[in-house]
Amino acid sequence: MAKRALITGVTGQDGAYLAELLLEKGYEVHGIKRRSSSFNTGRIDHLSIDPHGTGRFHLHYGDMTDGSALIRTLAEIRPDEIYNLAAQSHVRVSFEMPEYTANADAIGPLRLLEAMRLLKLDGTRFYQASTSELYGKAAEVPQNEATPFHPRSPYGAAKLYAYWITVNYREAYGMFASNGILFNHESPIRGETFVTRKISRAVAAIRMGLQERLYLGNLDALRDWGHARDYALGMWQILQHDAPDDFVLATGVSHSVREFCELAFARIGITLEWRGAGVEETGHDAASGRCLIQIDPVYFRPAEVDVLQGDAAKARKLLGWRHETGFSDLVAEMVDQDCRLLETERLARRTYGVVE
Ligand code: NDP
Ligand code: GDR
C-alpha cells in the first residue's frame, strides 16, 4: 500500500518541492493549507491536476494556531510521515509579529506532537523544519549539529522551542521525531520578500525597464545558500533513516548578499561597481555609471545574523545526502526564470490589449 504523508506549509516553497518529490515516489500526499481571501496554491496547482489520474494529492484547510483542526486532520488521515514545514518564516517580520510567530512556529509543532500522542499514532514519523537561524550569533564557523544555539530573532527563538520540543517528544515518548537543521535554500519559487528572490526579480525588472533601482538592507550578511529541490530530498532522507535524529543540511560554502547581487546582475550582462560605504553605499552599472542598488535602512534588523555556513558531514555520512546545485547555478536559474516570467507577463498584457 502507498505510504501516506502529511505536509503542513504545503503552499510554501519547500512544501511544493516536497509534495512533488513524494508524489514521484508513489506516496499519497495530504497538505494543510490556510484559508486565504486570494489564491494561495500557485506553487502546487500543477500537482492537483494529476496527469496520471491517480488522485493521490489532497488538500485540507487548517492552521498551526488551531489545535482542534490539526487533531481532526491527523485523526482522519493517520499519516505514516508528517513534515511540519508551516511557519511564519520571515525573520524580519518576526520582529513585527513576535507573538503570532511564537504561536505558529513554536506552539504549532507542539500541537502536532501532542495530537500524535493523543491519537496514538505510534508508527508515524515526524519531521520538524528547523533552521540555521538557531545558530544566530554562533561563535564557531562552520556550524554543525554540536554547535551551541544563540538565536537572534523572535523567529529564531520560536524555532528553538520547536527544535527542543521535537527532541523532547523523541526522548520522553520514544517517538520517531527528527529535526532537519536546514541552511538557507532558494529557488525560482522562493517567496518574493526573501533577499535572493527580491534580487532576482529586481534584476529581471530592471532588464525589462520596469524598475529603476533595487533597495536593500545589509549587504555584508553571509549565507550558505543551496537549492530547495536538494533540501526537499534531504527532508525525506531524514525520515527514512533507521533512527530518529537531527541533521544539518548545507552546502558548506557561504556568500554575501553583495556577491549574490554581483552574480545576478552579471547574468544580464551588467558588471556592478560599488561606491561609498555603510548606508551610503550604492551599486552602479560599471559601463553606464547608472545607480542600480541603494541601501534603505528599513531592511536592517534589530539584531542581525552575520555568518551562516553549515557542515553537513553527518548527513553526507549517514544519509548519503549531497547537494547538486551550487551557488552560481542557483543564481542563474533564479534570474533566468524571473526574466522568463516577466516576458510571459508582458506578452500576455500585449495579447490581451493592455496598453503599456
Ligand atoms: P514559506 O514561507 O515559503 O512557506 C511557509 C508555509 O507555511 C506556507 O505554506 C504558509 O502558508 C504556511 N503557513 C504560515 N503560517 C501558517 C499557519 N499559521 N498555519 C498553517 N500554515 C502556515 O517557507 P519555506 O517553504 O521557505 O520554508 C519551509 C519551512 O522551513 C518553514 O518552517 C521555514 O521556517 C523553514 N526553513 C526554511 C529555510 C529556507 O531557507 N527556505 C531554511 C530553514 C528552515 P501561506 O502560503 O498561506 O502563506
Ligand atoms: P534569512 O533570509 O533571514 O536568512 O531567513 P532573508 O533572505 O530574509 O535574509 C538573508 C540576509 O539578507 C539580508 N538582507 C535582506 N533581507 C531581506 N529579506 N530583504 C532585504 O532587502 C535585504 N537586504 C539585506 C538580511 O538582513 C539577511 O542577513 C531565511 C528564511 O527562509 C528563514 O525561514 C530560514 O529559517 C532561514 O533563511 C535559514
Residue where the block lists cell 546582475: 265
- Ligand 2 neighbour 184 (Cβ under 6 A): yes
Ligand 1 pocket test target in 11, 64, 68, 89 with most atoms within 8 Å of CB: 89
Q: Partners of 7 in the beta sheet?
A: 31, 83
Supply the pLDDT for residue 350. Answer: 80
- Please identify every stretch of the chain with a pLDDT value under 70, giving residue numbers as ranges: 49-54, 353-356
Q: What is the H or E stretch that residue 259 is in? A: helix 257-266
Contact between 64 and 106 (Cβ < 8 Å): no
Global pTM?
Answer: 0.97
Query: What type of residue sits at position 254?
Result: S
Q: What is the pLDDT of residues 247-268, one digit of tens each?
A: 999 999 999 999 999 999 999 9
CATH number of the domain located at residue range(s) 4-184+225-252 in this protein: 3.40.50.720
Q: Which one, of 163, 126, 134, lies nearest residue 238 by Cα?
A: 126
Domain 195-221+256-306+326-351, architecture per CATH: Alpha-Beta Complex (3.90)
Helices (H), 43-120: 45-48, 67-77, 91-96, 98-102, 108-118
Helices and strands (H and E) in the chain: how many: 12, 15
∠ CA(221), CA(223), CA(229), 5° rounding? 150
Is 133 tagged catalytic? yes
Check for a shared fold between 4-184+225-252 and 195-221+256-306+326-351: no
Q: Which of 6, 7, 8, 14, when mutated, tests ligand 1's pocket best, judged by the most ligand atoms within 8 Å of its CB?
A: 14
Q: Is 155 a catalytic residue?
A: yes
Q: Are strands 282-285 and 272-275 parallel, antiparallel or unpaired?
A: antiparallel
Question: Can you read off the three cell numbers belonging to residue 210?
Answer: 520596469
34 within ligand 1 shell (Cβ under 6 A): yes
d(CA 171, CA 165): 10
Nearest to 321 by CA among 191, 233, 228: 233
Is 221 near ligand 2, meaning CB less than 6 Å away?
A: yes
pLDDT of residue 355: 53
State if residue 101 touches ligand 1 by the CB under 6 angstroms criterion. no
How confident is the model at residue 81, as a pLDDT? 99
The predicted complex's ipTM stands at 0.99
Identify the pLDDT of residue 348.
Answer: 82
Give the pLDDT score at 104. 98
Whether residue 110 contacts residue 317, with contact meaning beta carbons closer than 8 Å, is answered with no
Q: Which of 28, 133, 262, 333 is catalytic?
A: 133
Which helix (H) or strand (E) covers residue 247, if one does? Answer: strand 246-249
Where in the chain are the domains? 4-184+225-252, 195-221+256-306+326-351
Q: Ligand 2 pocket, 88 CB below 6 A?
A: no
Do 132 and 143 form a contact (C-beta atoms < 8 A)?
yes
Helix (H) or strand (E) holding 319: helix 313-319
Q: What is the pLDDT of residue 50?
A: 59
